[in-house]
C-alpha cells in the first residue's frame, strides 16, 4: 500500500480540502502504517507557479500548510511530508512523461479549460502541462491509493492513461516474455459524502481557495466566532429541510450544508434528514456551526501553536524530502533505462 497525494500552497486551506482530502490522508496514513505500507503527502509548490504568484507569499503559505497538515493529524513520524521543490525527481519524471502524454489529452482537462477560459494564448505553459507533473507526482512512487476530492478525478485518470501508454510502449520483458510494467496504475480514493464541498455563497460553485469572497469558505484557520458568522450568513432558501434526500435535489445550498453536517458527524444524509427534516435553517444552522467548531476548533488550536516555528516546519520538510528522494530514485532509474537514455 503506497498512499500519495498533494495539496497546493495557494490561499488558505479550507473545509473542502479537509473533508475531501486531508481527513483521508490521515486515515490512509494510519492504514498504510498498520500494514507496513507508506504514505507520502506533499505540498505542490511547483504546481503553484503555474498561475501568477508572489514568491514571499508562496514561501509563507508552504510553511503554513505544513503546520495545517500536522494540525489535522498527519504525523511526520508515520507519513513522509515534503514539498515538491526539494525532490527534483518530480520534474525529471515530468519531462520524461512529456514524451508520452498527448496534446489532445491535456486539451480535454476541465481544470485547464476552466482556468484558461477564453485566454488560452495568455496562459503559462506550466498551466497546460500541470497534469503531467501531477501524473509524475504519483507514478514516481508507484502509488496505489491517491486520496483526492472529486475535482482531481480527471487528473488521476490522465495519470493512469499516461502510465498505461508508457507501460505499453516501453515496458521491458521478463525472461518468460511477459511484460514487466514500470508503473503501477493508481486508484483515486474519493470520499462519497464529501467529494465536492460547495461555496457557502453559491451552491453551484465549489468551495475554493481562490474564491475572492472569504465568506464563501470555512478556513481551517478561522476562529470559532468567524465560523459561526459564516454559517449564519451562508446562503439558503426559505423552506424547511425535507425528510428525504430526494427533497434536496433542486436545493444546492441546502444539500451542501446537510452534506457538510453528514460528513462531519460521520452520518448518512438520510440520517441527518431523519433528525432535522421538517425543521428550518434557524434550528439547523446553529447545530451545524457547533459541529464545525467542535471538529475544527482543536485543529485550529494546534495550527496556531505550530505555525510560527518555521525552523521546526522546515526541518519536517527537509526530513521528508530526503526520504522521498530515496523512494523516487528506483522508478526514475527504470524510466531512463526503458527510454534508452544513457546515464551513469
Ligand atoms: P488542491 O490544492 O486544489 O486541493 C487539495 C485537495 O483538496 C481537494 N478539494 C476538495 N474536495 C472537496 N470539496 C472541495 N470543495 C475541494 N476543494 C479541493 C482536492 O480535490 C485535492 O484533493 N492538483 C492538486 C494538487 C496535486 C495533487 C497531485 C493531488 C498536485 N499533485 C498528485 C493528488 C495527487 C490540487 O491543486 O489540489
* Spatial CA neighbour of 321 closest among 9, 88, 147, 38: 88
- Cα distance between residue 220 and residue 209, in whole Å: 11
pLDDT exceeds cutoff 80 at 156:
yes
- Cα distance between residue 122 and residue 175, in whole Å: 50
- Cα distance between residue 93 and residue 142, in whole Å: 13
- Cα distance between residue 156 and residue 165, in whole Å: 14
150 CA distance to ligand 1 centroid (A)?
8
6 CA distance to ligand 1 centroid (A)?
7
Q: Which residues contact 102 (CB under 8 A, 6 or more apart)?
A: none
**Which residue did the predictor score with more confidence, 181 or 210?**
181
- Cα distance between residue 215 and residue 172, in whole Å: 53
Which of the following is catalytic: 206, 230, 285, 307?
Answer: 206
pLDDT value, residue 179: 87
Atom from ligand 1 closest to the CA of residue 47: 30
- Mean pLDDT, residues 289-318 taken together: 98
- Give the model confidence (pLDDT) of 78-123 as tens digits: 999 999 999 999 999 999 999 999 999 999 999 999 999 999 999 9
pLDDT value, residue 284: 98
Atom from ligand 1 closest to the CA of residue 196: 13
- Cα distance between residue 344 and residue 342, in whole Å: 7
- Give the model confidence (pLDDT) of 241-252 as tens digits: 999 999 999 999
Residue pointed to by grid coordinates 526539494 = 86
pLDDT exceeds cutoff 90 at 289:
yes
pLDDT exceeds cutoff 90 at 193:
no
Whether 115 is catalytic: yes
Give me 152's grid cell.
482531481
16 band by pLDDT with thresholds 50, 70 and 90:
very high
pLDDT exceeds cutoff 80 at 331:
yes
- Give the model confidence (pLDDT) of 30-46 as tens digits: 999 999 999 999 999 99
Q: Taking CB atoms and a 6 Å cutoff, what residues make up the pocket around ligand 1? A: 5-8, 16-17, 20-21, 44, 47, 134, 137-138, 146, 148-149, 151-152, 194, 196-197, 206-207
Cα-flanking dihedrals φ and ψ of residue 318, to 5°?
-65, -40
Q: Which CATH superfamily is domain 2-195+310-338 in?
A: HUPs (3.40.50.620)
134 CA distance to ligand 1 centroid (A)?
11
pLDDT value, residue 308: 97
- Mean pLDDT, residues 283-305 taken together: 98
22 CA distance to ligand 1 centroid (A)?
9
Give me 57's grid cell.
507569499
pLDDT exceeds cutoff 80 at 139:
yes
- Mean pLDDT, residues 45-62 taken together: 97
- Cα distance between residue 100 and residue 331, in whole Å: 16
- Give the model confidence (pLDDT) of 157-166 as tens digits: 999 999 999 9
Residues in the chain: 344
pLDDT exceeds cutoff 80 at 344:
no
**Cα 220 versus chain centre, distance:** 15
Atom from ligand 1 closest to the CA of residue 130: 23
pLDDT exceeds cutoff 80 at 336:
yes
Atom from ligand 1 closest to the CA of residue 152: 20
| 234-256 exposure pattern, b = at least 16 Cβ within 10 A, e = fewer | bbbeeebbbeeeebbeebbbbbb
Rounded to 10 degrees, the C-alpha dihedral 244/204/215/236 comes to -40
- Mean pLDDT, residues 278-290 taken together: 97
* Check whether domain 214-306 has CATH 3.40.50.620, yes or no: no
Domain locations along the chain: 2-195+310-338, 214-306
- Cα distance between residue 95 and residue 136, in whole Å: 9
Whether 209 is catalytic: yes
Quick check: helix, strand or coil at residue 308? coil
| CB distance 188 to 152 below 8 Å | yes
262 band by pLDDT with thresholds 50, 70 and 90:
very high
Rg of the chain over all Cα atoms, to the nearest angstrom: 21
pLDDT exceeds cutoff 80 at 125:
yes
Quick check: helix, strand or coil at residue 191? coil
Q: Put residue 92 in one of left, alpha, beta given phi > 0 → left and psi -120 to 50 → alpha.
A: alpha
Whether 165 is catalytic: no
Amino acid at each position: 500500500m503506497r498512499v500519495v497525494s498533494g495539496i497546493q500552497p495557494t490561499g488558505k486551506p479550507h473545509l473542502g480540502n479537509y473533508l475531501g482530502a486531508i481527513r483521508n490522508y490521515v486515515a490512509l496514513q494510519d492504514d498504510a502504517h498498520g500494514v507496513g505500507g507508506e504514505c507520502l503527502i506533499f505540498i505542490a509548490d511547483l504546481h503553484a507557479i503555474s498561475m501568477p504568484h508572489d514568491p514571499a507569499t508562496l514561501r509563507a503559505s508552504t510553511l503554513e500548510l505544513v503546520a495545517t497538515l500536522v494540525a489535522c493529524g498527519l504525523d511526520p513520524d508515520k507519513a513522509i511530508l515534503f514539498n515538491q521543490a526539494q525532490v527534483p525527481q518530480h520534474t525529471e519524471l515530468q519531462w520524461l512523461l512529456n514524451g508520452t502524454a498527448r496534446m489532445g489529452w491535456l486539451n480535454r482537462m476541465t481544470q485547464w479549460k476552466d482556468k484558461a477560459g477564453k485566454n488560452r494564448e495568455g496562459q503559462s505553459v506550466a498551466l497546460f502541462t500541470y497534469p503531467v507533473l501531477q501524473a509524475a507526482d504519483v507514478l514516481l512512487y508507484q502509488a496505489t491509493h491517491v486520496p483526492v476530492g472529486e475535482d482531481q478525478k480527471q487528473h488521476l485518470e490522465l495519470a493512469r492513461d499516461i502510465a498505461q501508454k508508457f507501460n505499453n510502449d516501453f515496458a521491458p520483458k521478463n525472461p518468460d516474455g511477459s511484460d514487466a510494467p514500470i508503473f503501477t496504475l493508481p486508484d483515486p480514493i474519493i470520499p462519497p459524502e464529501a467529494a465536492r464541498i460547495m461555496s457557502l455563497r453559491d451552491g453551484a460553485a465549489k468551495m475554493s481557495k481562490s474564491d475572492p469572497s472569504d465568506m464563501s469558505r470555512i478556513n481551517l484557520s478561522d476562529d470559532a466566532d468567524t465560523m459561526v458568522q459564516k454559517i449564519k450568513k451562508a446562503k439558503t432558501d426559505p423552506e424547511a429541510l425535507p425528510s428525504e434526500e430526494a427533497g434536496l435535489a433542486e436545493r444546492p445550498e441546502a444539500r451542501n450544508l446537510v452534506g457538510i453536517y453528514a460528513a462531519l458527524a460521520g452520518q448518512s444524509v438520510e440520517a441527518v434528514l431523519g433528525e432535522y427534516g421538517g425543521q428550518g435553517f434557524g434550528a439547523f444552522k446553529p447545530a451545524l456551526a457547533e459541529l464545525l467548531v467542535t471538529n475544527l476548533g482543536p485543529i485550529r488550536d494546534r495550527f496556531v501553536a505550530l505555525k510560527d516555528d518555521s525552523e521546526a516546519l522546515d526541518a519536517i520538510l527537509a526530513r521528508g524530502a530526503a526520504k522521498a528522494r530515496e523512494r523516487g530514485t528506483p522508478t526514475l532509474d527504470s524510466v531512463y533505462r526503458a527510454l534508452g537514455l544513457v546515464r551513469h
